[in-house]
Structure 1
């Protein structure tokens, strides 16, 4: 029309395939985690409650402000150090992006924290009570993992522990190992939820006024719909001073 020339380019099947392969693959975005309470570098009191609030925003999973993030999948690691000078050694041993134990990530997908907490009896015993009662051994790990899957009654009272048949044997062993090995230190524990509170320890007999609490909130997302294995983690760390 009008004497113009129309040029057509015909792509072969091989060229189309090459074009598709060159398209950038969708990439999961890491969640953004922050704590709005307590304030960073705030002072803490001995033997007192500390309230915390965590906010999570993830491009794929949603926003905690709109109840789009499951609260039990949000973790808060609480660590007390008697001297702030220990911080450098702690950080050199553990990377700032250190992932949470695989057992903990599995537990956040289960109702574990509905019945158990780190250091206080809830419906069931605390993880610290379990670790104190049962010294770690391979046989104890095996016995506890079977109770996680099959349930139990009578060990800690008359309230039964419900079975969790959806948990694989390997996962149950990881959870049992974490409970027995990683819950012997009352100054280092985990909590779940976007809000809550924990109690600080009693004042040490020899207190030099240098104690600090290190709080690390984290959330591991669910990856992309077509690639759930591509999970990413966001975290936020703050310190409370004595």
Structure 2
């Protein structure tokens, strides 16, 4: 027997990415020590995830730029502190894991 129509309807109207966007990738956040410098909604040593999302959410190719910065580090765009490379934060970060973190941040 098939799925009840209410479940089919719910699956059809809720984009797959919205379910993902609400689930925090806690293991990756902890592994990369993101919360040492960032918070979800207030600047700390670095901009909040919400500030990052507001700045980059609608910019073309922003996800790729942010993924690269997560993996390789990069110069400061928000003050004096540069983003250290993943190897100095918690170990190597795969392109897929970087994308998971970026997608989550941009969904804030």
Give the TM-score normalised by structure 2. Answer: 0.69
CA contact (8 A) 2:24 2:104 kept: no
Give 1:139 shift. 1.6
CA contact (8 A) 2:67 2:102 kept: yes
Give 1:136 shift. 4.1
**Which one of the candidate residues 32, 47, 59 is aligned to 1:110?**
32
**Which one of the candidate residues 73, 86, 101 is aligned to 1:175?**
101
* CA RMSD across the alignment: 2.4
Structure 1 or 2: larger strand share?
Answer: 1
**Which one of the candidate residues 149, 155, 161 is aligned to 2:83?**
161
Structure 1 or 2: larger helix share?
Answer: 2
Within a 5 Å distance, the mapping from 1:62-73 to structure 2 comes to none
Give 1:142 shift. 1.1
Give the TM-score normalised by structure 1. Answer: 0.32
Q: Distance in 2 between matches of 1:176 and 1:104?
A: 13
Name 1:152's counterpart in structure 2.
74
Q: Distance in 2 between matches of 1:109 and 1:144?
A: 18
Q: Distance in 1 between matches of 2:25 and 2:102?
A: 8
> SS at the partner of 2:61?
helix
Unaligned runs of 5+ residues in structure 2 are 1-13
Give 1:135 shift. 1.9
Which of the two has higher C-alpha Rg?
1
Unaligned runs of 5+ residues in structure 1 are 1-92, 184-242
Distance 1:180 1:136, change over 3 A: farther
Give 1:171 shift. 0.3
Give 1:155 shift. 0.8
Within a 5 Å distance, the mapping from 1:49-128 to structure 2 comes to 101=23, 103-128=25-50
